[in-house]
Every structure is written in C-alpha cells, then in structure tokens.
C-alpha cells in the first residue's frame, strides 16, 4: 500500500544517500505520502522561482506535472537534471493548446490584420513549445498568482492579449480583477476554422481567450456554491481562478493554491470555509486546521482529484530516488535548446514582473 512503512523507509534512505545531490520540489496538489519528502512545496509560481534555488543539486525531482518539470529544466543550469517520477503525469489543460494549433491561430490573427497589436500571455500550464511561441512573439508567462500583473504588463506592450490556454483564468482576471466586461472577451476555438470567430469579432476584442479549461476545476458549479451556502451558514467560499466564471463571481475569495493556504492560515478560529480546488490539498488543509477550530470543507459533494497529479505516488517516488541513488538517471525531462531559449525569455519576463 502507498503508506507502507517499508516504502516510507526506503524513500527516506534513498534520499539520505543522495544528500545534497537531490532537491525535491512538491506541488500542493501532491499526495501526502509524496509531499512529506518535498524540500520545498509551493504553487506553480513559487516552484518555478525556487527550482533554481539549489544550484549544487545534480537532480531536481519534480513531484508535480510535466509542464512544471519542463519549466524547471528551462530555468535551471545545464548540469542540473530534472526528473519527473512518472512520465505520464501530464496536464489535460496544457494538452489543449498544441504548437500547430497556436501557429495556425497566429496566422488567423495575421490575416485579420491584428497580429501586431496582440501580445500573447500564456498560463504556466502549457507546454514548452507554447512558452517558446510566447517568448518569440514578445509575450510573457503567468501563473494564477500573477495573472493580473502579467495582463497589465501585456496591455502596456499592445492593445490586445491572446490568452493561452485557460479561458477561465483569462476571463476571470480580465473581468473580476481588471474591470473589463465579458464583451471584451472572445473565445478562440482551435477546432473551428478561424477559431469560430469573424474578423470583426477579432478586431473588436481586447482579450482573445483560448478555448482550454481544467476538467478538475470545471466540476465546480454555481450550484455547488449555492448548496454549500445553504448547508453551512456563514461559510466563506474560496476558489481557484481556474474555476468557471460564474463560480468565481459567486465566491468570496479567489486565488492560487499558495493564496488559499495563506488565507486559511490567517483565518480566525471558528471560521468556516468551502474550498474549490483539488482534493489532496483541501483534505490536507482540513486536517491541518481542524484543531484550530477552522472548519474546512470541499466545495463540491463529489470527489475531485487531479488524476495526473495523483500519478506521482510513493512507489514511483521510491523507484525514482533509489534509481538516482544507484547512479541511474531515469525519467529526465529535457527541453531542446532552441525551444528553451525562447521559452526562457517568456518565463524571465514573468519572473521580472513588478
């Protein structure tokens, strides 16, 4: 079983043997059995920033998903090797924007005569190819903790933004945080000719939103919010900005996983919270704050893990650490040089945001 004490001991021993040669990063959505071995935990911004924090570590074991490991590879030295304990830990949202589709979209914008006015802003949850496209066209990466700053920056560079690939983060930031209207946003569907948009619609738009979404956060609905408010009077609803617009509009607080944790840390005893994000994190927080008298529940009645985050389990971590300890480099994530140089440009613009 995953909490097998034998596996816990093997992970501990392998990590001890590796010593300073290994640096383990863990995203907040990781399982408890994995997160206990992380040297640093964080949201995707913090993990991108901290990936390079230990240049002496030969191996960076990234307990998270593929795009995070790619970003760590881009941001760390050539002699540091980034390892993803299960290569099948992808992200369905990141897969919703491919390099070919995005190149085709740029052609559509060019034909509409607006490409020069458009600055791409790509969510961290995207492949290295998409990040490279973004860097090449003068854009920046953002995460859920700096999307507003990234958009403000982008609107200083140009009149329009192409936001990839999460329509919800793009729309929620533009409308909820920046006071744009829903009519300022259009949805570009990569499966339709011209994105399913007319030239007039493209020319009138300020925000061109890619039609991608997170299926985990997409499960929360306005009904989930209304139900929980009825069930728990006085509850505070706190959700991740990957949730649909009507959910975010009905919530009391919205922010990244790190924001969610900080908000609950600062919450007074006796307060009640319904959280709309991945379940490993919500359960961990519910347990952690229970003895401080903070009641923390999951926003929906159904179970809602991120299946790809969950692929990194203790057996995979043990296998990874033991392989590295024996000198076998397994599951390395390596972005090719050309992609890396442009993707790095976009990531560095994000890290330099005011």
Q: Which is nearer to ligand 13P, 134 or 143 (CB)?
A: 143
| CB 38 within 8 Å of CB 337 | no
3-state secondary structure of 142: strand
φ and ψ of 143, to 5 deg: -125, 180
Residue 26 or 139: the one with the smaller Cβ distance to ligand 13P is 26
The closest of 5, 23, 128 to 65, measured between CA atoms, is 128
Nearer to ligand 13P, 206 or 284 (CB): 284
Q: Among 101, 173, 236, 257, which residue interacts with ligand 13P (rule: CB under 6 A)?
A: 257
β pairing state of 160-164 and 140-142 = unpaired
> Which burial class, exposed, middle or buried, applies to 234 when counting CB atoms under 10 A from its CB (0-12, 13-18, 19+)?
exposed
Residue 92 interaction partner, one of ligand SF4, ligand 13P, none, beta carbon < 5-8 Å per kind: ligand SF4
92 lies in the site for ligand SF4, by CB under 6 A = yes
- Residue span binding ligand 13P (CB under 6 A) among the ranges 13-21, 41-49, 146-154, 204-212: 41-49
Q: Which three-class secondary structure state does DSSP give residue 298?
A: strand
- Give the C-alpha separation, 260 to 253, whole Å: 9
CA dihedral 101, 106, 110, 116 (to 10 degrees): 170
Binding mask 257-296 for ligand SF4 (x = CB under 6 A): ---------------------x------------------
Pick 217 or 344: Cβ nearer ligand 13P: 217
CA 272, CA 283: separation in Å to the nearest integer?
14
Plot region of 331 (φ>0 → left; ψ -120 to 50 → alpha; else → beta): left
Question: Least Å distance between CB 40 and ligand 13P?
Answer: 13
Q: Is 191 annotated as a binding residue?
A: no
Q: Is 166 in the site for ligand 13P (CB under 6 A)?
A: no
Contact status: 127 vs ligand 13P (CB under 6 A): no
Under rule CB under 6 A, residue 125 binds ligand 13P: yes
Segment near ligand SF4 (CB under 6 A); pick from 204-212, 220-228, 305-313, 315-323? 305-313
Please tell me what DSSP assigns to residue 341: H
Query: Which of 252, 228, 229 is CA-nearest to residue 239?
Result: 252
- What are the binding residues? 27, 44, 91, 123-125, 144, 214, 240-242, 257, 306
Binding site for ligand SF4 (CB under 6 A): 65, 91-93, 125, 214, 216, 242, 278, 306, 308-309
- What are the binding residues for [4Fe-4S] cluster? 91, 214, 306
- What are the binding residues for iminosuccinate? 27, 44, 123-125, 144, 240-242, 257
């Amino acid at each position: 079983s995953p909490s097998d004490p034998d596996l816990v001991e093997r992970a501990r021993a392998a990590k001890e043997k590796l010593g300073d040669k290994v640096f383990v990063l863990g995203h907040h959505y990781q399982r408890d059995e994995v997160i206990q071995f992380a040297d640093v935990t964080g949201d995707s911004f913090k993990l991108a920033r901290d990936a390079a924090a230990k240049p002496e570590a030969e191996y960076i074991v990234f307990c998270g998903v593929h795009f995070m490991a790619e970003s760590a590879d881009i941001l760390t030295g050539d002699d540091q090797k980034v390892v993803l304990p299960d290569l099948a830990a992808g992200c369905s949202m990141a897969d919703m924007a491919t390099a070919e589709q995005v190149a085709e979209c740029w052609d559509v914008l060019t034909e509409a005569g607006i490409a020069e006015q458009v600055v791409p802003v790509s969510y961290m949850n995207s492949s290295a190819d998409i990040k490279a496209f973004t860097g090449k066209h003068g854009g920046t990466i953002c995460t859920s903790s700096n999307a507003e700053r990234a958009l403000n920056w982008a609107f200083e560079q140009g009149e329009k933004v192409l936001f990839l690939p999460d329509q919800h983060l793009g729309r929620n930031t533009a409308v909820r945080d920046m006071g744009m209207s829903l009519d300022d946003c259009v949805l570009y569907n990569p499966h339709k000719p011209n994105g399913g948009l007319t030239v007039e619609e493209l020319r009138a738009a300020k925000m061109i939103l890619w039609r991608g979404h997170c299926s985990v956060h997409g499960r929360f609905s306005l009904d989930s919010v209304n139900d929980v408010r009825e069930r728990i009077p006085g509850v505070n609803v706190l959700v991740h900005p990957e949730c649909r617009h009507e959910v975010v509009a009905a919530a009391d607080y919205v922010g990244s996983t790190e924001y969610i944790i900080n908000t609950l840390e600062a919450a007074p005893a006796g307060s009640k919270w319904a959280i709309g994000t991945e379940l490993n994190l919500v359960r961990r927080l519910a347990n952690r704050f229970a003895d401080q008298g903070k009641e923390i529940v999951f926003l929906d009645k159904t179970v809602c893990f991120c299946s790809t985050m969950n692929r990194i389990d203790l057996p995979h971590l043990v296998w990874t650490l033991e392989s590295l300890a024996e000198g076998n480099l397994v599951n390395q994530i390596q972005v090719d040089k050309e992609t890396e140089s442009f993707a790095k440009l976009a990531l560095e613009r994000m890290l330099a945001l005011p």
